[in-house]
Structures are given as C-alpha cells and as structure tokens.
Amino acid sequence: MRMLLSRTAGNLFWLGRYVERAGSTARLIEMGHRMAMLPGAYSTEEWNSVAAASGCLHLFDDEAKINDAAIIRTLILDRENPSSIRSCLEAARTNGRAVRTSLTMEMWEALNDGWRKLELMDAAQVQRELPGVLDWVKQRSSMLRGTVDSGMLRNDSYDFLRLGAHIERADMMLRLLDVKYFVLLPETDVIGGGRDHHQWTSVLHATSAIRAFHHIYRGDYSPGKIAEFLLLSPAFPRSVLYSYDLILTHLDRLANSYGDRHDCHETAARTTEELRRLGINEIFRTGLHEFVQDMIRTTRKLTAEIFRAYHL
Amino acid sequence: MYDEMSGSGDGTRPPYARIAEWIEHTGLDQLRQRSAEAEAIFRRIGITFAVYGEGGDPERLIPFDLIPRVFSAVEWARLERGIRQRARVLNAFLYDVYHRGEILKAGIVPANLVYQNAAFVPAMIGVEPPGRVYSHIVGIDIVRTGEESFQVLEDNCRTPSGVSYMLENREIMMRMFPGLFAGGAVQPVDDYPDDLRRTLQEVAPPACKGDPTIVVLTPGIYNSAYYEHSFLADLMGVDLVEAGDLFVDEGRVWMRTTRGPQIVDVIYRRIDDDYLDPLAFRPDSMLGVPGIFEVYRAGGVTLCSAPGAGVADDKAVYTYVPEMIRFYLGETPILENVPTWRCAQPDDCAHVLSHIDEVVVKEVHGSGGYGMLIGPKASEKERVAYAERIRKHPAEFIAQPTLQLSTVPSLGPKGIGKRHVDLRPYCLVGKQMRLVPGGLTRVALREGSLVVNSSQGGGVKDTWVLSS
C-alpha cells in the first residue's frame, strides 16, 4: 500500500473542513436572512446568533448593530477572517492545489471553478444577489461532495478528507446549539414564555433541516423534538450522532488498513456510543447547554488526537 | 526570413500540407472560437503558471496558439541525433570537471570558467553519481534559420521546465481536432511520463535495494511551475513532496507519512542547488532538507539533477560545447552552436561594443529572457547603459548575432500571421537515453518579436513530428 504524506493528509483534512464550513456558514446566513424578513424584532438577535454560531462574534464592533450588511462583509467577503466564506473557499482551493495529485480532475474542477467569483464582488452586489450567492456557495460544497462520492478512490486520502468534513459538521451543529440552546429549553424553564415556533424553526432552517424534520415529526415543533432531531437522529445527515457515526467509520477504516489504533479511536467510539444510548430527556435533565459545551470540548480533543496519531 | 510553412517561397512545404488544408477548411472565425474554447479548458483544468506579487490574476495562462508546428520524420531524425549527442557530451563534461578535469588540462575549456563559476559545486568533486549522470533531463533550446540550418541557442541541464505544456498542448489538440490526427500521422509524445519514471528508476542510489521510491520535490504552490510539478508526479504515480516533508536520519532520506517515516531513494528535485540543503549550501536559507547533501554523497539518495550540474549550461561554457563533442566523443557536432562572441576575450568584446546595435547580448548566468539586450530593438539610451555594464564586467556577457528565427503561422489579432518560434526538446538520461519526438515550441506572439519566453509575452504551440 502506498504511504500517504502527512502533509497531504493534513491538507485533505482541511480541504474537507473548509468546504464544509463554507456551506454551513451559507446555511446560517440564509436562516438570518429569512428571520430578518419576518414581522417582529428578531433581526438583530438572529444576526447575532449567526455571528456567534460561526465563531465570529468578536469580529463585530457593536453587537447591538449587527445587520445583514455587516454579516455580508464579515462572514462572506472578509479576507482577514479565516472563517469567512471567501477565505474558506480560497483556503480549500489552496489546500487542493497542494495535493493536486490526490484529487480527481472533477474534484479539482469543483474547487477551481469560479474561485475568484467572490473576490470580484463587492458587498453591495452580494447584498443585492444574496440568495443567489448563498446558493452558489452551497453548490460548491455539494459539487465537491458529489465528485468525492462518485470518483475518489476509497483509500486513506478519502478518509482524511471525510474526517475533516464530518468533524466540521458536528462542530458547526454543536456551536449552533450552543448559541441557540435557550430557544430549545422546555417551556417551563422560561419565565413568561414568549417564544413562538418561528424561533424554534429558525434552528431547523439554519441547518436545512426543516423538511426532514417535517417528514419525521409532522409539524410537532416542540423544543424537545427539535433538540432530539439535531443531536440524536440516526437518520438526519447533519445531526451530531450521524456525524460522529461517520467519524468513527473513517477512523475504523484507517485502523483496519494501517493495523493500529490510537486514543482518537477510543474517544470517537466512546462518544458515538454515548450519543446512541442517551435519550433527549436525559440530556435535558443534566442540562442541554452543559451537554453541548461538553461535546464541543470532546470534539476539539478528538481533533487533536487525530492530528497526533497520524502526524498531521 | 524563413517560414516553416512556406519555406522561402509562396507554396506549402510538404510537412505542412495537412495544416494548410485544415486552416483553409476551418476558417479564421472558427479558429478564433476554438482558440477561446481551448483557453477556457486550460483555465478550468488549472494549467497555469503562478505570478505572485505583481497584482492582477496570480495564476496566468500561457497563451496557446492553435496552429501546430511541424517537423518531417527526416528533419526530426537529424535533430534527434544532434540532441542525443549533446545530452551525452554535457554529462561527459560534468563528470570530467568533477573528476580529472582532462578538458581543462588540455586547455580546451579555460579552467577559471569552470572553477570560478557560481554554479560549480566544489563539494561534488570526486562524487560518483549513479550511472555517472548529472543532468537527467536535458532541455536543449534550438532555433531554425533556414531549410537545413538548426542551431542550439542554449542548454538547460538543471531543471528545464515546460514539458507539461508539451503534453497538455497535444492532449488538447487531440481532444478538439481529432480529425487532424487521423491515420496516426503524428508521432505520439505521451510516453514522456513513463520514460521519465524509468529514467529515475535507473539511477537509484547504491543504498536502494529493490524497487526505488521516487518523489518529485517542489518549492510549493507559489512556485511558477507548480502545476508542472504536480502534473509530472501525478502522471508518474509518485509523491509530490516539499522540503518540509523530508528529513535525514541514519544516512537515508525519509518522508513523513501518516504511518510514520518512509525511505526515499530518488528525488527529482525542482528546486535550485542553493535551496537543497542549508548545511551544505546556504546557511541563511530556511528552505531545504538539512543533511541531504551528505546522504547524496554517500550514495544514500539520488538527486536529479545532481548538484552542480548547472556549470554545464552556463552561457559562456555553452560556447565550448562543439569543442567538447570533438574532445570527448571524437565526433563532429551534428547541431551547430549560434556563433557567439565571448566578451571575456578582448577582441570579441571590442567587436560586440562596436556592433552593439546589431547583436543580442546576454548575461552569462541569466535565464528566462531577463537581462538581455536585443541591439536592433533597444533604444540608444539602453544600448549605452548596457555597453557600460559590458565594459565593467566583460566576462559576465556573451553576444550573438540577431538571428532571424524561423516563423510559423499563428493566430493574431489581425488574422493569421507569421510569428517567430524556437524548440525545446527534453532528452532523458539514465542508463539509457530517451527522447520523445518533438518538444515544446515557444512562439513570440507579438508581431516581429524575437523573445519567446513566457515571462515576456511568449506563447506555446503543439509540436508535431510526422510519422515517416
């Protein structure tokens, strides 16, 4: 079996991760955009959640005044912000160039096609064409996934690429829940009630989960159901359990082909098992927020363990 | 002026019959449209050269001219013999200067030209590279000035680039105009990557037992030829590494992999000598692999090309290649040199200074078309300033007559016009020599221009050698 350069594996991991992040950020912004159009005063609050869930709240001067223009500048176009969509797509392409020999032609074309599009647009133009731009970003992400799915050899390169994508996906979902957990607390915990299903569904919208949720729960928008769906659904491909399932699958594949296991395998197996076993009521009993924060830490630790195990 | 399609007259030379008919049949509008399509394909695939730090698009395309350049089988047979002769003698010269220095002792090549040359690596003295090969890929730049006259403009013994264009140009022509290639009229070039891999396998170091592990060493994605590095690694099925991926331990070179260190046997390096090993060459350099040169000397790894190979492609050394052919091989040079004045010699220097408006002056160590003076095209002011530089450091310059390079029909803004071209074939030297028919044709796309370098507005063409 041909050995995989550690740098190549690292580049593939980040390539997968950046492309996934660009797609998730686009979904988050779509949710903010949608909420801002609804009656009521959700706009600033929702844009705040978007900024926080993408881990970029600190980049905004005045949290009270976050609006669509500021979001577009910072989360879509800002070159200085490594998590902006533009930075993610450029970084993904740069990582791709560095490992050209591990990519199929179709994968490369998915990364290369229109890579300077955002560079050539200003904030006003993006704002005018926002839904189209966000669709384009999600398409980039889907295109790469599709080309990987249909053309990439199922070797260790594939596993590292997918590990990056699934770790990012789990992490993004957890950060969204970290920001939005209060919306999902049981009604009784909230003094005065006051929330409606728009707020609950915003969380579903942010992860393109609304249709899938309908399909399973038929419009039963209770916070418990939503939290259960996003954390523990074995069927929803953006749920935390689903992501962990795949992280474990890819780590197991590496262990099988390399013939050795590391502490990342332990951590992934234990966490996946726990997510499978736990019910949402149990999580609510111990505290949703604590659980989510704990999972964020675990995911970070797992990433570090993977890097150590494979010399990335 | 010699045009390769029409010769010196108005008709069409036989090798170009198919091309002439194709141009006629396709028409200018259609050619333009197909040319735009070709550019879109190149851009999409990412066949670019990187130019960072100049603003504008950091990844540029080398303009591709659709109209091929053609050699008959007979023309190529002669070129091929000349190229092989030259690649052989350049390696013989390198072995000699790093061992007994017979040619220097015989007074044929001045010793100071070698020993005081910046590209000469004293630490290579006495080193025995596998197969006695120093330059494994010899790129020889050839110009044509008439029906029968071909001349060598310069030799490239280090890491000549551009072969990826040779391969991609053919690929794209076959994709866009399959009819042109009907009946196997054109000899294929796509053996090159396999030939290169076999060549590299043949020069495995003494320490290698079994099948050698080969890698291509690149400076990284910001290097202008990065695409080519990744392309060649990919087609050979070997890893593309950066210096940071390699380290030295227990007398071998290792690469860092996800399963721990793995031994590397042969390195096709696309980085300069200076950046190979900070311990041996540039202590100030952060680049390179510390200790790799010592491993090389001890036979633990093969570097292709060998450190110090550049001493053979210096423009002043170039002028002695015909003498080398007589000295080492006892043969008559098959390909001539361009007549060259060596400014280091007072008579030559005086001639150059008094004819500076007629000649092309080049820096001895220059490359890429930078730093040269084309006398007839330069302004009076430029000529005066350049003459001053020659007077100060005569040994740094050579001069050649302004050659009327042959032209080939090319697509220009005003229609199809004659543009000057040169040719770079790539001769592979391992235990055997290998040469794919053809090479890279570079074309000066600006009307009347003689500079074919991509950094100076040059483009490329598919190059055909017809089947006999």
pLDDT in tens, A12-39: 999 999 999 999 999 999 888 887 777 7
**pLDDT band, residue B79 (cuts 50/70/90):** very high
In A, residues 231-260, which contact B (CB 8 Å cutoff)? Answer: 254, 258
Interface contact A30, partner B, CB < 8 A: no
Mean pLDDT on B431-440:
96
Q: Do B221 and A94 touch (CB under 8 A)?
A: yes
State how far residue B383 is from chain A, nearest Cα, in angstroms. Answer: 42
Q: Give the residue-averaged pLDDT of B299-312.
A: 97
From B220's Cα to the closest Cα of chain A, the distance in A is 7
A112 has a pLDDT exceeding 90: no
Alpha-carbon span A12 to A275, nearest angstrom: 27
> pLDDT band for position A41 (50/70/90)?
low
Which has the closest alpha carbon to B460: B428, B434, B438?
A: B438
Q: How many A/B residue pairs have CB atoms within 8 Å?
A: 66
Cβ partners under 8 Å of residue B391, min gap 6: B353
**DSSP type of residue B212:** P
Residue B283 has pLDDT above 90, yes or no: no
The token duo for A189 is: 């915990």
Give the C-alpha separation, A87 to A85, whole Å. 5
- Report the C-alpha gap between B345 and B73 in whole angstroms: 40
Chain A neighbors of B231, CB-CB under 8 A: 100
3-state secondary structure B325-383: HHHHHCCCCCCEECCCEECCCHHHHHHHHHCCCCEEEEECCCCCCCCCEEHHHCCHHHH
d(C-alpha B92, C-alpha B133), whole Å: 8
A3·B244 Cβ contact <8 A: no
Q: pTM above 0.80? A: yes
Q: How far is B265 from chain A (nearest CA, A)?
A: 14
Distances (CA, A) of B283 to B121, B147, B220, B289: 15, 51, 20, 11
> Where do the DSSP E strands lie in chain A?
none
Residue B232 above 50 pLDDT?
Answer: yes
Residue B289: helix, strand or coil by DSSP? coil
> What is residue B124's DSSP assignment?
G
pLDDT (mean) for A276-285:
93
A150 CB-contact burial (10 Å; exposed 0-12 / middle 13-18 / buried 19+): exposed
Chain B touched by A98 (CB under 8 Å): yes
- Lowest-confidence pick of A95-104, B304-313, B448-457: B448-457
Nearest CA distance, B430 vs chain A (angstrom):
25
pLDDT tens by residue, A300-310: 999 999 999 99
Residue numbers in B near A108 (CB within 8 A): 45-46
For residues A190, A194, A197, A199, the Cα torsion angle rounded to the nearest 10 degrees is -80
Q: Does B59 touch chain A (CB under 8 A)?
A: no
* Mean pLDDT value of segment B124-144: 97
Which of B175, B259, B262, B264 to probe by mutation at the A interface, max A CB count within 10 Å?
Answer: B259
Q: Which chain A residues contact residue B45 at CB under 8 A? A: 105, 108-109, 112
pLDDT per position as a tens digit, B373-424: 888 888 999 999 999 999 999 988 999 998 889 999 999 888 999 999 999 9
The nearest CA of chain A is from the CA of B239 a distance in Å of 8
Does residue A311 contact residue A6 with C-beta atoms inside 8 Å? yes
The nearest CA of chain A is from the CA of B306 a distance in Å of: 25
Matching residue, tokens 């007259």:
B9
3-state secondary structure string across A264-310: HHHHHHHHHHHHHHCCHHHHHHHCHHHHHHHHHHHHHHHHHHHHHHC
Looking at the DSSP assignment, which residues form a beta bridge with residue A5?
B257
Q: Identify the pLDDT of residue B368.
A: 59
The b-or-e profile of A259-272 (16+ CB within 10 A means b, else e) is eeebebbebbbebb
For the ranges A68-72, A89-93, B367-371, B409-413, the lowest mean pLDDT is seen at B367-371
pLDDT at res. A4: 93
Q: Check residue A192 and give its pLDDT.
A: 42
Higher pLDDT pick, B451 / B331:
B331
Alpha helix segments (H runs only) across B191-306? 192-202, 226-236, 292-297
Q: Do B260 and A160 touch (CB under 8 A)?
A: no
* Dist. CA B61–CA B459, nearest whole Å: 9
The 10s digit of each residue's pLDDT in A216-227 is 888 777 888 899
Instruction: State the average pLDDT over residues B207-213.
Output: 95
Residue A112, chain B, CB below 8 Å: the answer is yes
User: What is the tens place of the pLDDT at every residue in A139-195?
Assistant: 999 999 999 999 999 999 999 999 999 999 999 999 999 988 877 776 655 444 455
Report chain A's mean pLDDT, rounded to a whole number: 89
> If you average pLDDT over residues A258-282, what whole number do you get?
96
Q: How far is CA B388 from the centre of its chain?
A: 30
Q: Cα–Cα distance between B184 and B180 in angstroms, integer? A: 9
Mean pLDDT confidence for B329-338:
96
Question: In B, residues 234-293, which contact A (CB 8 Å cutoff)?
Answer: 234, 239-242, 244-245, 255-260, 262
Instruction: Judge: B46–A112 Cβ closer than 8 Å, yes or no.
Output: yes
Helix boundaries (H) for B98-138: 102-105, 111-115
- Any A CB within 8 A of B455 CB: no
Distance CA B285, CA B299 (A): 24
In terms of pLDDT, which residue wins out, A62 or B163? B163
Partner residue opposite A4 with nearest CB, options B227, B240, B258: B258
- Which residues are CB-neighbours of B419 under 8 A, at least 6 positions away? B65, B407, B408, B409, B410, B412, B443, B444, B445, B447, B449
Task: Work out the percent of chain B whose per-residue pLDDT is above 90.
Answer: 78
CA distance B102 to B108: 9
| Type of residue at A49 | S
CA distances from B350 to B314, B374, B401 (A): 22, 17, 15
Confidence of residue B322 (pLDDT cuts 50, 70, 90): very high
Q: What is the pLDDT of residue A193?
A: 47
Joined tokens for residue B228: 């080519």
ipTM value, please give it: 0.82
Gap between the Cα atoms of A173 and A292, Å rounded: 10
Is the pLDDT at B163 greater than 60? The verdict is yes
Q: Give the residue from chain A lying closest to B45, CA to CA.
A: A109
B258:A258 CB<8 A:
yes
Average pLDDT score over residue span B71-95: 98
- Best of A97, A143, A160 to disrupt the B interface (most B CBs within 10 Å) is A97
> Inter-chain contact A101–B46, Cβ cutoff 8 Å?
no
> How many degrees, rounded to 5, is the angle at CA B158 between CA B427 and CA B332?
50
Distance from C-alpha of A267 to C-alpha of A273, rounded to nearest angstrom: 10
Cβ of B226 and A5 within 8 Å? no
A7–B226 CB contact, under 8 Å: no
Q: Which of B56, B25, B71 is nearest to B408 (CA)?
A: B71
Helix (H, G, I), strand (E, B) or coil at B105: helix
Instruction: Report helix, strand or coil for A243.
Output: helix
Mapping DSSP to helix (H, G, I), strand (E, B) and coil, where does residue A241 land?
helix
The span from the CA of B198 to the CA of B193, in Å, is 9
Interface contact B468, partner A, CB < 8 A: no
* Mutate which: A1, A100, A311, vs B, most B CBs within 10 A: A100
Report the alpha-carbon distance of residue B268 to residue B262 in Å, rounded. 17
Q: What is the mean pLDDT of residues A70-77?
A: 93
Measured between beta carbons, which residues in chain B are less than 8 angstroms from residue A310?
A: 258
- Angle of helix B192-202 relative to helix B226-236, nearest 10 degrees, comes to 80
Tell me if chain B has a CB within 8 Å of the CB of A119.
Answer: no
For chain A, percent of residues with pLDDT exceeding 90: 61
Res. A46: pLDDT tops 90: no
The per-residue pLDDT for A269 is 98
Most confident of B50-54, B197-201, B443-447: B197-201
pLDDT tens digits along B238-266:
999 999 999 999 999 999 999 999 999 99
Higher pLDDT, B34 or A62: B34
A191 vs A129 pLDDT, higher one: A129
Quick one: pLDDT band at residue B55, thresholds 50, 70, 90? Answer: low
Which residue is listed with tokens 């070129």? B79
pLDDT value, residue A1? 67
Of residues A77 and A206, more confidence is placed in A77
Shortest CA distance from B255: residue in chain A = A5
DSSP state of B7: B
- Provide CB contacts within 8 A for B155, sequence distance 6+: B86, B90, B138, B139, B140, B141, B312, B313, B318, B321
Judge whether residue B52 has pLDDT over 60. Answer: no
- Which whole number is the average pLDDT over A111-116? 81
Region B108-133 average pLDDT: 95
* Coil vs helix vs strand at A224: helix
- The rounded percent of chain B whose pLDDT value lies above 70 is 96
Residue type, B289: V
pLDDT for res A119: 83
Greatest Cα pair distance, chain A, in angstroms, is 63
* Probe site for chain B from A3, A115, A155, A310 (most B CB atoms < 10 A): A3
Average pLDDT value over all residues in chain B: 92
Least CB–CB distance from B230: residue in A100, A112, A310: A100
